[in-house]
Structure 1
């Protein structure tokens, strides 16, 4: 008879092994972990550099809007310095969604370090991003002034280029006038129904839900009215009478226009104009327009640069899309030398650089200038400056698709991108040390 615990198999005896002893997961237990925020990031981390830059900036206009002051009742506001640093760092990482930024503030060490224990939600982040146009404009000017003072950028030569950025509107949202008027009638009816529901609440529907429905109805009506108001301007841009009758405007973002994109397709977009100094590679001008063409954008940019820096560039580089004889004459009158390619003449075999009978002195000088090898060499700096800046903003800073609507909010997003780009140039040049 075999011993207890031993099985006989073919004359051999095997002892049964006890069950394995392992440490398994127990997710119900509560853990108390010490957290040292300061040790989360290495000294050379980009978030630390951006925070150091923000501490050097004057953010008075951001603080001016805070209601909670002194001993008056009210919940303290989140320090604008924290929100500015969060959006600058998020933009540097290509994050453009307030919801995604709020998630990162809970899950990512760099964002948690910037928060410093302050809890933020996506609604606060979203409102802050697009609700301080004047403060952002001043911050852009302030950063430029510091960089100019420290010699990190020079305005002698500036390159300008436009970038079509996809709008937050679908192609199906563009409607002709009859459809817009039908939408307005439906929107007015919906607003009236919501008002009636407010007077006679629907059972099972909370006050918060009713308030949200009322807000959505009012915003819908407002957008449709804006679309009808934009219709005359869209018609005026059409050439033929038939095209004028077919003019369409978006009910989602009435200011957006269908533009030809870089891939050759046509989609709703805004035209973001950026001017970059060739020395220092710093953005010195930011503008937003809903014109799909760059023609006519040279003069506004020169005014923008002068407003921000107090001076005009000596030389201005633009591509052929900006060429208008009136713009060249105007820039020359302001003491700015324009470097832009001379268009091919319509008549085959003609010399594009030969002056024409009706050319003004400024246009004649431009044609003659662009025929020289020196001017052609200078013009090559445009692509190396403006197009690389646009590519960086589009691929690295998230300026490839807009998540906001309306030209004011789009300008705020463009300013955040330009400020972030310039601060990173400042950091790379050692300007923050």
Structure 2
């Protein structure tokens, strides 16, 4: 049947035929619909021919119930979705019905969004192993050179609402208020029970909890947990600050640790310190869009092809405490991936500069360049470019400032932004990583690692496409 609609009067151009009711003889296979160089084919080949999925399959050995979807298919969908910026399980389900790439990967199945979400959450624990495998493939393809490696952090918005939070100065009076309300409701319930016993006899069970009482007790438990978490955070921050101050003053490790213990015991939370009820593990941080609940995502990036070597998420808004964990993790992952080599130079901005980090940097096999930030009144930083070693008696910060002002140090550090900042931009723009889907620290860590894995896969595919790596 031909559509009755006609071109507007006066249109003298002839157009190609258009009939939405036209019947077609479609290709017998979806494979014929997909371009040979489509990203979906690359993801499928990596999962089928490269990755060891024994860790994924192991979780199903004792599983009961109906047969689940094939883990290979689910992992392909997950990797392809995150690589193309689709992080919603509901959207993946829709794409499996409408998008040729998704339909081809799923074998023309359409897993429901609950199954997709459960698969993602269930296998967070195997992501570090898969990440190391992809990193090993990138290294074998010549994409990991370990010359300069840049370390930096970026903020990822948590799946938490700012309207579902309460500050410390409101928690204590709220707890007292709820205590009074619960006591009043319990007294009322007891009086009602006694009256009903007098009227109907003592056969009534009497253990039914009024809905109003249950709601208040639930809120009271959440408030207590939030109060304890805020107090624990304040103690941890006070201990870290005291330990850093003692180490900077050159005190022995025992005295530094005792100072940290004393500071933690005397710590008092700030009145405006908040805890969120949607995601209690998220923290208020300064982002590009103002203050919001977020996580601090760290990454160590290799220079030549911007391959992510390590990825970690923390609840701490600042980067200063992440230098040692990230350098240790980078070395560990390189060992697991079979690379067995340390970076020649590690670059970090002033957010990582501290006395303890400078001391730790001196113990690494790599040369470390950390921006020193502003000069204190009692420090002597060199002015302009210098040559030769630092002067005798210089502090660690003064030594680092001297190294950064040598010709080689200046040239190396100048590359920091160009190495790591584009990676954050690519992941957030192409993969929609700026907004997390999973809640909790473990969920945020797994999702950030998944984004880093997909970023490395895209770099590997691009290198293969343009001929850097033989196809």
Distance in 2 (CA, whole Å) between partners of 1:151 and 1:247 is: 48
Task: Give the deviation of 1:329 after TM superposition.
Answer: 1.6
Aligned twin of 2:255: none
**Mapped pair 1:412 → 2:446:** yes
Aligned twin of 1:3: none
**Mapped pair 1:305 → 2:304:** no
Preserved contact between residue 169 and residue 272 of structure 2 (Cα < 8 Å):
no
Aligned twin of 1:270: 295
Preserved contact between residue 62 and residue 80 of structure 1 (Cα < 8 Å):
yes
Task: Give the deviation of 1:46 after TM superposition.
Answer: 0.9
Task: Give the deviation of 1:160 after TM superposition.
Answer: 1.0
Once the two structures are superposed, the pairs formed by residues 59-98 of structure 1 within 5 Å of their partners are 59-67=53-61, 74-98=65-89
Aligned twin of 1:115: 106
Once the two structures are superposed, the pairs formed by residues 52-201 of structure 1 within 5 Å of their partners are 52-55=45-48, 56-67=50-61, 74-177=65-168, 179-180=170-171, 182=174
Secondary structure (helix, strand or coil) at the match of 2:415 reads helix
Distance in 1 (CA, whole Å) between partners of 2:74 and 2:216 is: 31
Task: Give the deviation of 1:64 after TM superposition.
Answer: 0.9
Deviations, residues 356-381 of structure 1 (Å, cap 9, x unaligned) = 99745x54542221111221111122
Distance in 1 (CA, whole Å) between partners of 2:305 and 2:24 is: 51
Preserved contact between residue 230 and residue 255 of structure 1 (Cα < 8 Å):
no
Q: Tell me which of 252, 270, 273 is aligned to 1:244.
A: 270
Residues 233 and 359 (structure 1 numbering): CA distance in 2 closer, same or farther, change over 3 Å? farther
Task: Give the deviation of 1:331 after TM superposition.
Answer: 1.7
Secondary structure (helix, strand or coil) at the match of 1:154 reads coil
Deviations, residues 313-363 of structure 1 (Å, cap 9, x unaligned) = 221111111111221221221222112223222449964569799745x54
Preserved contact between residue 42 and residue 461 of structure 2 (Cα < 8 Å):
yes
**Mapped pair 1:287 → 2:312:** yes
Distance in 1 (CA, whole Å) between partners of 2:53 and 2:216 is: 36
Aligned twin of 2:374: 344
Residues 349 and 145 (structure 1 numbering): CA distance in 2 closer, same or farther, change over 3 Å? closer
Residues 332 and 178 (structure 1 numbering): CA distance in 2 closer, same or farther, change over 3 Å? closer
Unaligned runs of 5+ in 2: 6-18, 187-206, 209-214, 242-265, 336-340
Distance in 1 (CA, whole Å) between partners of 2:300 and 2:314 is: 14
**Mapped pair 1:326 → 2:352:** no
Secondary structure (helix, strand or coil) at the match of 1:172 reads coil
Preserved contact between residue 226 and residue 254 of structure 1 (Cα < 8 Å):
no
Aligned twin of 2:286: 260
Residues 22 and 116 (structure 1 numbering): CA distance in 2 closer, same or farther, change over 3 Å? closer
Distance in 1 (CA, whole Å) between partners of 2:412 and 2:80 is: 34
**Mapped pair 1:46 → 2:39:** yes
Preserved contact between residue 148 and residue 412 of structure 2 (Cα < 8 Å):
no
| RMSD over equivalenced CA pairs, Å | 3.8
Distance in 1 (CA, whole Å) between partners of 2:393 and 2:160 is: 44
Distance in 1 (CA, whole Å) between partners of 2:55 and 2:217 is: 30
Residues 29 and 366 (structure 1 numbering): CA distance in 2 closer, same or farther, change over 3 Å? closer
Secondary structure (helix, strand or coil) at the match of 1:245 reads coil
Task: Give the deviation of 1:120 after TM superposition.
Answer: 0.3
Deviations, residues 289-311 of structure 1 (Å, cap 9, x unaligned) = 01111112111101111111124
**Mapped pair 1:371 → 2:405:** yes
Aligned twin of 2:196: none
Count of residue pairs brought into register by the alignment = 387
Deviations, residues 108-158 of structure 1 (Å, cap 9, x unaligned) = 111101101233011111122222122111100111122223322122321
Distance in 2 (CA, whole Å) between partners of 1:411 and 1:245 is: 29
Aligned twin of 2:338: none
Distance in 1 (CA, whole Å) between partners of 2:69 and 2:218 is: 28
**Mapped pair 1:316 → 2:307:** no
Residues 22 and 146 (structure 1 numbering): CA distance in 2 closer, same or farther, change over 3 Å? closer
Residues 136 and 288 (structure 1 numbering): CA distance in 2 closer, same or farther, change over 3 Å? same
Preserved contact between residue 49 and residue 432 of structure 1 (Cα < 8 Å):
no
Q: Tell me which of 455, 458, 461 is aligned to 1:421.
A: 455
Distance in 2 (CA, whole Å) between partners of 1:244 and 1:356 is: 43
Preserved contact between residue 235 and residue 245 of structure 1 (Cα < 8 Å):
no
